[in-house]
Amino acid sequence: MTKHITVMAGDGIGPEIMAEALKVLNGLIDAGLDVSFEEHLFGGAAHDATGSCLPDATLAACEKCDAILLGAIGGPRYDSLPREQRPERALLGVRSKLDLFSNLRPALLYPELASASSLKAELVADLDLMIVRELTGGIYFGEPRGIETTDGGEKRGFNTMTYSESEISRIAHSAFRIAEQRNGRLCSVDKANVLEVSELWRETVTQIAAEYPDVELSHLYVDNAAMQLVRAPKQFDVIVTSNLFGDILSDAAAMLTGSIGMLPSASLDASGKGMYEPVHGSAPDIAGQGIANPLATILSLSMLLRYSLDESKAADTIDRGVRQVLSDGLRCQDISGDQPAVSTTAMGDAVVAAMAN
């Protein structure tokens, strides 16, 4: 049965990078991939055309499809809108309407780009790790929260870190399934030596491991995980962790790779349906110049095919194409250093050509 993708290019460099991802997708469809896609307005572009950053037709398309591919949204023109009408709010709206609780942040470093990392090349060359972060619970949402004034007149701020068994269970299942599709190793990160909520996290993840005999589960305390990530990051395959710990660890892992223009991401629901997007924003400073790096969006498409549409052969074809263009020496300006850079469209064309080989 044909699978359907909702495509939302968005704002700034969004349409430029999405055009290249769609070249790649069309190439795969021409070669027999049974997928269709439909483009919809989202973010500032939707606001300009319809008065809403998340038009009803776009939300309906997101609800109906099998997966969503997003470029980027936002820009200075929309920063003066009331908060609830801004593009960023529309993004949160889609995430919460679709209950996208599992955030996938891969950190992948091609050997050719190892010098862009803040770590020594031998520590990071060929790095390929995936952080699965719980996105809709934990201390960012826990109640009670607030700032109060005590009887003594002193102000006191407080938040609550809370996870129910069902919240832990669904993120654990999501992470185990991802580990099954990768190298079969899952590291759960918590602070079970200090926090009761982490004790429950560890106990629940350990119980669920019995359902995934092909995945080897390990546990680390978050402070040790942070150390290991900068000491020997290649030891990890998949890391699963809570919202707060994942927020911090995934940004640290992203920096190991050196370039924001190369990093894809995804947010999944319990069934594996998801929204896929580059980690970077709409880069208004370079929009319209034809120099944005489209690889993070192209790699987001690869993740979409692998994790939501179960089309790992097509995903492998894209990954191989990206590897090939990098080893051929092609670079957009964000990763070119002193070398000459290629344009957004030249990079997209080169990936399509490399995929055909």
Q: Which of 27, 55, 75, 137 is the binder for ligand NAD (CB under 6 A)?
A: 75
Rounded Cα–Cα distance for residues 112 and 331 (Å): 10
Pairing of strands 274-278, 67-72: parallel
Catalytic pick from 66, 247, 319, 334? 247
Q: Is 251 a catalytic residue?
A: yes
Q: At 56, phi and psi to the nearest 5?
A: -55, -40
Torsional sign, CA 193, 199, 203, 209: negative
Instruction: Assess 284 for contact with ligand NAD (CB under 6 A).
Output: yes
Q: Contact at 8 Å (CB) between 202 and 163?
A: no
Closest CA to 93 of 62, 122, 124: 62
* Closer CB to ligand NAD, 217 or 262, in the complex: 262
Residue numbers 242-261 binding ligand NAD by CB under 6 A: 260-261
Residue of 163, 190, 191, 319 with catalytic role = 191
How many chain residues bind ligand NAD (CB under 6 A)? 23
Q: Does 348 bind ligand NAD (CB under 6 A)?
A: no
Single out the segment in contact with ligand NAD by CB under 6 A; choices: 146-154, 155-163, 186-194, 289-297.
289-297
- The verdict on whether 191 is a catalytic residue reads yes
Which listed residue (72, 217, 238, 305) binds ligand NAD by CB under 6 A? 72
Interface residue with ligand NAD among 134, 190, 277, 311 (CB under 6 A) is: 277
Q: Is 119 helix (H, G, I), strand (E, B) or coil?
A: coil
Amino acid (one-letter) located at 219: H
Hey, what amino acid is at 146?
G
In the complex, residue closest to ligand NAD by CB: 281
Of 273 and 280, which has the nearer Cβ to ligand NAD? Answer: 280
CB of 333 to ligand NAD, least distance (A): 7
Residues 109, 112: Cα–Cα separation, whole Å: 8
Q: From the list 7, 59, 68, 73, which residue makes contact with ligand NAD (rule: CB under 6 A)?
A: 73
Examine residue 69 and tell whether it contacts ligand NAD (CB under 6 A). no
Q: 321-325 long-range CB contacts below 8 Å, 24 or more apart?
A: 321/24, 321/351, 321/352, 321/354, 321/355, 322/110, 322/295, 322/298, 322/351, 322/354, 323/110, 324/354, 324/357, 325/350, 325/351, 325/354
Residue 76: count of CB within 10 angstroms of its CB: 11
Q: What ranges in the chain are assigned the alpha helix state H?
A: 14-30, 44-50, 56-64, 87-97, 121-124, 165-181, 196-209, 222-231, 243-257, 295-307, 312-327, 344-356
The window from 69-77, 127-135, 151-159, 236-244 that contacts ligand NAD (CB under 6 A) reads 69-77
**CA atoms of 148 and 107, how far apart (whole Å):** 40
23, 99, 140, 310: the catalytic one is 140
Among positions 315-344, residues that touch ligand NAD (CB under 6 A) are: 332, 334
Q: Clarify whether 140 is annotated catalytic.
A: yes
Residue 65's contacts (CB-CB under 8 Å, 6 or more residues apart) are 4, 5, 6, 38
CB of 314 to ligand NAD, least distance (A): 22
Q: Is 282 in the site for ligand NAD (CB under 6 A)?
A: yes
* One residue of 50, 77, 85, 88 binding ligand NAD per CB under 6 A: 88
Binding mask 1-30 for ligand NAD (x = CB under 6 A): ------------x---x-------------
The answer to the question of residue 83 lying near ligand NAD (CB under 6 A) is no
Which of these segments, 124-132, 136-144, 157-165, 286-294, binds ligand NAD (CB under 6 A)?
286-294
Task: Report whether 253 contacts 131 (CB < 8 A).
Answer: yes
Write out the residues near ligand NAD by the rule CB under 6 A. 13, 17, 72-75, 88, 91, 260-261, 277, 280-286, 292-293, 296, 332, 334
Known catalytic residues are: 140, 191, 223, 247, 251
